[in-house]
């Protein structure tokens, strides 16, 4: 055992390094998101967990044999946990609709709904095609969309279960059950559902299952990887990065250890590239459009103008919100990493591809890097990172759960903890407000009753673009920077804030004669354009938020 | 050897019975909510779309339910298989559908689409059944 000597005191290096590393990471996790008071509370929480796990539960030493011996005991509890997780999962995905009705979800809902419309369904897009069986089974387009969205999230649970069970870690069944529970109560996963990032949700499940199938060296990974590429290009890029990382580490490891390279893996690389080329051929139009966007800003957020920042970051929660929401997990993640790597070191296999937790840990590092770096679609990487954080957190939590379920008091404590987790996510699901009010949505829906099919509907705020697109049942929708907009930022600024109402009139006249304008509750009622439209005689107010332009 | 195969059979029978009970219960619940034909098509169609192809495709690739040999690990336990099943079903159906859609091959009318899914299901059942038969020497 390596020792460190300071003066007359001798320390075991490992015993000092671990707590120093643990508290440094915990402290770094609080930077810029917590005030001093909350920082202290968090560090006390982190210390309590550290003390409980290492001193009370493990008593300073980790015996994996003990967990191996008790692998088949108390299974009923874990089966109950998984059932509870599925119940919570189902409830939190239904609650927003009970509370807020049709348009309970966030920004992308309207855009997707349009592609589930019977006139364009199924489009050539893989996400809508994946929903086509449910659509043909008799579900309405709206229900089919929401069902597919929830199904996508369910597939993430299934894929994480499959990934953990496919590794050779101790008590993989029990750890997988804890991970499923944590995923079902994860606010980040719920928010990805609320933001309705459908393609990414669906693709994420296939990203994880492809990683799991690679660890199993299964040919099926070619099918799931191809579907990931069809579903969502940026998720596929993340998958490609993961594979590049794996193969680089694997080849370096083989070279250093002077091991033969597995021919099957080389064949996977070759076939994978062929499949990529095949899908690329079919998806060229979609992929090239997304690459153009990346190339335009050289892949970096610093090159993106402010007005396009929301789109460039990926229309999802920002990094600091993510850190605040998941900070309670950090101590568990660090301890989980320590336990899993310790276990992997004791159970080291000859081939790197069989040392699953080295690879899963490197995946976590990769996802952390792409989440922290200011690159295009940065916020969307939060979803992947959160899943891999939960995988490691579940290992540490499993150790505590095993300790607590031995005695009655522990069981009660555990039940309270489970209820807190469930209550927290149920509350978040119930109180998450939609981006549009019920009245606004009804007005948008009733536009088709007043406007003919050639009418042009214009939103003056891009927040309303998806709702008009998805619910108005009209073809010609214009919104700042979206859909059939041809103005560009300069003209919009002139329209919003310019001093001349005559210019505004000319601009609208050139746009269309049969024009309806939607100005929702989010607009600035003191802005010049709002004052002009709401008071000028050239506009007739049809309802609270809809005006008809009368040239 | 025989007893372990019997256990696998037993598990399979249990799984089928459980799936059948869930199927009947779900249909019963849905009948009260929606009309009978829609309920049947949702449950039966959902079963066809999300269970059958993936389950038998997994058997075609991993014919054994338990690890019996050290050299060839062509096994997949029932819980992992069930987790993989919906993903494989969706992957197979969506992948082929998107390719057909891109090639402008017309399978996207209600009837033809379900004939196409039924053919996929039959293909997977045959492939999985054959692989299971030869690997377990029934």
Could you read off the pLDDT of B86-99 as tens digits, one per residue? 999 999 999 999 99
Q: Say yes or no for a CB contact (<8 Å) between B84 and A162.
A: yes
Token readout for B18 is 């459980």
Average pLDDT, chain B: 81
Q: Which chain A residues have a beta carbon less than 8 Å from that of B62?
A: 218
Q: Which residues of B29-63 are buried (b: 16+ CB within 10 A; e: fewer)?
A: ebeeeeeeebbbbbbebbbbbbbbbbbbbbbbbbb
Q: Is B46 within 8 Å of A134 when comparing Cβ atoms?
A: yes
CA A214 to centroid of chain Cα atoms: 22
Q: How far apart are CA A229 and CA A272, in angstroms?
A: 11
* Nearest residue to A138 via CA among B130, B41, B133: B41
Whether residues A124 and B102 touch (CB distance < 8 A) is answered with yes
CA gap B126, B138 in Å, rounded: 15
> Where is average pLDDT lowest: A348-352, B5-9, B59-63?
B5-9
Residue numbers in chain A where pLDDT is lower than 70: 1-14, 60, 118-119
Res A480: pLDDT: 86
Mutate to test the interface with A, among B90, B106, B112 (most CBs of A within 10 A): B90
For chain B positions 79-108, those within 8 Å of chain A (CB to CB) are 79-80, 83-84, 86-88, 90-95, 97-99, 101-102, 108
- Report the predicted TM-score, pTM, of the whole model to 2 decimal places: 0.89
Partners of B29 on chain A (C-beta within 8 Å) are none
Q: What per-residue confidence (pLDDT) applies to B138?
A: 53
In this complex, do B87 and A126 lie within 8 Å of one another by their Cβ atoms? Answer: no
Q: Is B24 exposed, middle or buried (0-12, 13-18, 19+ CB in 10 A)?
A: exposed
- The residues with which B75 forms a beta bridge, in sequence order, are B64
Cα-based torsion angle of the residue sequence A401, A403, A404, A407 in order, rounded to the nearest 10 degrees: 140
How many CB atoms are closer than 10 A to CB A58? Answer: 17
How far apart (Å, rounded) are the C-alpha atoms in residues A174 and A181?
A: 11
| Cβ partners under 8 Å of residue A315, min gap 6 | A107, A108, A195, A197, A379
Q: What is the reported pLDDT for A7?
A: 56
DSSP 8-state symbol, A53: I
Give A-chain residues touching B102 at CB under 8 angstroms.
124, 282
| Contact between residue A447 and residue A531 where contact means Cβ atoms under 8 Å apart | no
Distances (CA, A) of A41 to A28, A48, A327, A328: 14, 11, 12, 11
pLDDT at A9: 55
Q: Is the peptide bond before A122 cis (omega within 30 degrees of 0)?
A: yes
Q: What tens digit of pLDDT does each residue of A475-517 get?
A: 888 888 878 888 888 888 888 998 888 899 989 888 887 899 9
What is the crossing angle of helices A408-431 and A187-194, to 10°? Answer: 20
Model pLDDT, residue A2: 54
Residue A17: per-residue pLDDT = 85
User: Is A126 within 8 Å of B98 when comparing Cβ atoms?
Assistant: yes
Residue B129 binned pLDDT confidence (cut-offs 50, 70, 90)? confident
State which residue of chain A sits closest to B105, comparing Cα positions. A124
Instruction: From chain B, pick out residues whose CB is under 8 angstroms from the CB of A159.
Output: 83, 87
Q: Cβ of B35 under 8 Å from any chain A Cβ?
A: no
Per-residue model confidence as pLDDT tens digits over A399-457: 999 999 988 899 999 999 999 999 999 999 999 888 888 888 889 988 888 888 888 99
Which residue in the set A139, A159, A230 is minimally distant from B95, CB to CB? A230
No. of H helices and E strands in chain A?
25, 8
| CA of residue A103 relative to chain centroid, distance | 20
Whole-angstrom distance, CA of residue B27 vs CA of residue B35: 10
Give CA–CA dist A418/A83, Å, rounded: 13
- The pLDDT of residue A415 is 92
pLDDT tens, position by position, B18-47:
777 777 777 777 776 777 777 777 777 788
Please calculate the CA angle A505-A508-A514 and round it to the nearest 5 degrees.
Answer: 120
**Min Cα separation A132/chain B (Å):** 9
Output the pLDDT for position A4. Answer: 52
Taking a C-beta distance cutoff of 8 angstroms, is the pair A26, A334 a contact?
A: yes
B61 closest CB neighbour out of A151, A220, A282: A220
Please report the pLDDT score of residue A311 as a whole number. Answer: 81
Q: Which residues contact B14 (CB under 8 A, 6 or more apart)?
A: none
């Amino acid at each position: 055992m390596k020792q460190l000597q300071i003066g007359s005191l001798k320390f075991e290096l490992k015993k000092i390094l671990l707590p120093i590393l643990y508290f440094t990471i915990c402290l770094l996790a609080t930077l810029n998101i917590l005030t001093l008071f909350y920082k202290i509370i968090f560090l006390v929480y982190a210390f309590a967990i550290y003390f409980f796990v290492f001193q009370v539960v493990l008593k300073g030493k980790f015996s994996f044999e003990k967990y191996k011996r008790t692998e088949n005991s108390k299974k009923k509890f874990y089966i109950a946990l998984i059932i509870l997780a599925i119940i919570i999962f189902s409830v939190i995905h239904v609650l927003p609709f009970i509370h807020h009705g049709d348009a309970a979800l966030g920004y992308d809902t309207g855009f997707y709904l349009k592609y589930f419309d019977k006139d364009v369904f199924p489009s050539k897009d893989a996400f809508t095609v994946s929903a086509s069986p449910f659509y043909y089974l008799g579900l309405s387009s709206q229900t089919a969309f929401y069902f597919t969205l929830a199904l996508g999230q369910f597939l993430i649970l299934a894929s994480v279960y499959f990934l953990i069970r496919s590794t050779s870690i101790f008590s993989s069944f029990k750890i997988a059950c804890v991970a499923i529970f944590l995923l079902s109560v994860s606010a980040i996963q719920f928010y990805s559902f609320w933001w309705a990032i459908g393609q990414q949700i669906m693709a994420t499940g296939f990203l994880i299952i492809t990683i799991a199938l690679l660890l199993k060296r299964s040919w099926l990974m070619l099918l799931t990887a191809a579907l990931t590429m069809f579903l969502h290009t940026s998720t596929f890029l993340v998958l490609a990065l993961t594979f590049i990382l794996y193969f680089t580490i694997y080849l370096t490891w083989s070279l250093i250890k002077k091991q033969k390279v597995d021919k099957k893996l080389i064949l996977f690389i070759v076939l994978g590239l062929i499949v990529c080329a095949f899908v690329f051929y079919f998806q060229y139009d979609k992929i090239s459009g997304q690459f153009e966007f990346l190339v335009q800003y050289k892949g970096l957020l610093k090159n993106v103008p402010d007005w396009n920042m929301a789109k460039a970051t990926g229309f999802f929660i920002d990094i600091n919100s993510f850190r605040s929401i998941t900070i309670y997990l950090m101590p568990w993640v660090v301890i989980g990493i320590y336990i899993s790597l310790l276990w992997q070191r004791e159970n080291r296999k000859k081939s790197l591809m069989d040392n699953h937790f080295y690879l899963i840990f490197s995946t976590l590092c990769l996802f952390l890097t792409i989440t922290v770096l200011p690159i295009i679609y940065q916020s969307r990487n939060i979803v992947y990172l959160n899943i891999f954080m939960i995988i490691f957190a579940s290992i540490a939590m499993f150790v505590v759960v095993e300790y607590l379920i031995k005695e009655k008091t522990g069981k009660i404590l555990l039940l309270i903890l489970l209820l807190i987790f469930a209550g927290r996510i149920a509350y978040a699901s119930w109180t998450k407000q939609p981006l549009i009010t019920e009245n606004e949505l009804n007005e948008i829906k009733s536009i088709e009753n007043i406007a003919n099919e050639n009418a042009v509907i214009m939103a003056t705020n891009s927040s309303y673009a998806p709702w008009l697109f998805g619910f108005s049942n009209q073809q010609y929708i214009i919104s700042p920077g979206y859909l059939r907009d041809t103005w560009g930022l300069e003209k919009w600024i002139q329209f919003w804030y310019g001093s001349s109402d005559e210019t505004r009139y000319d601009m609208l006249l050139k746009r269309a004669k049969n024009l309806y304008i939607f100005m929702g509750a989010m607009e600035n009622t003191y802005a010049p354009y709002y004052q002009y439209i709401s008071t000028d005689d050239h506009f007739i107010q049809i309802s609270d938020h809809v005006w008809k332009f009368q040239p | 050897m025989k007893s372990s195969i019997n256990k696998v059979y037993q598990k399979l029978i249990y799984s089928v019975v459980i799936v059948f009970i869930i199927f009947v219960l779900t249909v019963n619940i849905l009948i009260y909510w929606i009309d009978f034909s829609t309920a049947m098509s949702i449950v039966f169609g959902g079963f066809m779309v999300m269970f059958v192809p993936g389950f038998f495709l997994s058997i075609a690739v991993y014919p054994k339910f338990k690890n019996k040999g050290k050299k060839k690990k062509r096994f997949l336990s029932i819980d992992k298989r069930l987790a993989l099943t919906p993903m494989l079903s969706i992957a197979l159906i969506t992948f082929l559908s998107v390719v057909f859609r891109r090639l402008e091959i017309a399978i996207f009318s209600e009837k033809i689409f379900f004939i196409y899914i039924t053919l996929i299901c039959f293909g997977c059942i045959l492939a999985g059944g054959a692989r299971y038969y030869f690997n377990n020497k029934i």
